[in-house]
Amino acid sequence: MTDDMQAFLEEFEDLESALQFLIDENQEFLSWLGTTVENVGPGTMTLAIPYDEKLTNTRPDATDRRADLHGGVAATLIDTVGGFALQTALEDADPFEVSMATINLNINYLRPATGDLEATANVVRLGGSVGVSEITVESTTPDGETKAVATGQGAYRVFRSD
């Protein structure tokens, strides 16, 4: 890790706070969605997006229930957290010097999301140039129960600085 990056990280209470700052300052779309860093660990990461009417699909026949979040919001979380989780698994490189590009993204929608979204990614495998993550997205139902609303798997090209 570069001295500049080490000094940057020391300005924050924890890694989650530093990554939140980087998202807010450098990822305008994720920031607009209200993306928050909930947890970071070796080979795993959790991001969340709060429910917001601007992100919904209002169904013409559904006047008695809360509008569903657009599936693209869950897809964005799956794609983003899957790549970020791979960076937490790097043992031989500085995660801030490595970038990712999505090669393939598979999403299975399980039920409508009507509350905040929380996506947790776990690394399946990280090789020299390709990594794979599995992701589960959960949402709180109107009756207060948390259920999986989507699952996904992403394959990512890993660009190392060597």
Q: Is the pLDDT higher at 3 or at 146?
A: 146
* 64: confidence class by pLDDT, cuts 50, 70, 90: low
Kindly write down the DSSP assignment for every residue of 30-50, as one continuous string.
HHHHT-EEEEEETTEEEEEE-
pLDDT(130) > 90: yes
Structural domain boundaries in the chain: 3-55+88-159
Closest by alpha carbon to 143, among 68, 71, 67, 65? 65
Fold of 3-55+88-159: Thiol Ester Dehydrase; Chain A (3.10.129)
DSSP 8-state secondary structure symbol assigned to residue 55: G
pLDDT digits (tens, 9 = 90+) for 18-59: 889 889 999 999 999 999 999 999 999 999 999 998 999 876
Whether the full predicted model's pTM is greater than 0.85, yes or no, is yes
